[in-house]
Amino acid sequence: MSSAPHAGTIEIFKARTNVWFAWLAWSVAALGIVVTVVTAGPAALAGAAPLLLIGFLGWQLFWMPAVVVHDDGVTLENPFRSVLVPWAALVHVDTRFALTLVTARKSYAAWAAPAPGIWGGRNAQPDDLRGLPATTYGPGQSVRPGDLKTTDSGQAARLVRARWQALVESGSLAAGDAATTPVKVRYRWVAAAAVVLLLAASVWSVAAQ
């Protein structure tokens, strides 16, 4: 998560499937370490870099990513960068491939909220289409599969749109600020370096066997 504090009401979205994948990765890594110690002794842990890589990626790719909705805007906690899109910079919320925040200059996708794909609406129920923020609906009250309440992208988009709509209706956002309001991007260089080092150590440990 980003180390920057957020004032006021905070809503955090994480995909449930991502959490399951994180626990699966940690379970595989933990089981592998236990089996390594039991079968080859503690000295064999010197070659456990591949297992450590699996465990770290479980956190980096699945557990850590989130969509954080707060008073200052929306923060996308992605694996290798954190993106803060202020409310004044937001132009459109898209869910074609994932929750995507569109600004006047660039679009930013959320790793934590992927869209279900073209077949994601096959099992949609009428209730999944009701009560969504007004900006969700297209021509003829149409709704994309990625906007459905039961999807990861739809749940995250609902949080973003509801807060955004409330700010617009209250007059808290001034018109014409989208082009001049900067988006803050912070890269996770330490995490990227950790992945590179663990990957290199994994290749070395496999080659040394």
Q: For 79-100, b where at least 16 C-beta lie within 10 A, e where not — what string?
A: bebbbbbbbbbbeebbbeebbb
Dump pLDDT digits (tens) for 8-30.
Answer: 689 999 998 899 999 999 999 99
Non-local (6+) Cβ contacts of 41 within 8 A are none
More confident residue, 42 or 121: 42
Dump pLDDT digits (tens) for 64-93.
Answer: 999 999 999 999 999 999 999 999 999 999
Taking alpha carbons only, the member of 209, 197, 165 closest to residue 49 is: 197
Its pTM stands at 0.82
Compute, in degrees rounded to 10, the torsion defined by CA atoms 103, 107, 109, 110. -20
User: What is the Cα–Cα distance from 45 to 100, expressed in whole angstroms?
Assistant: 42
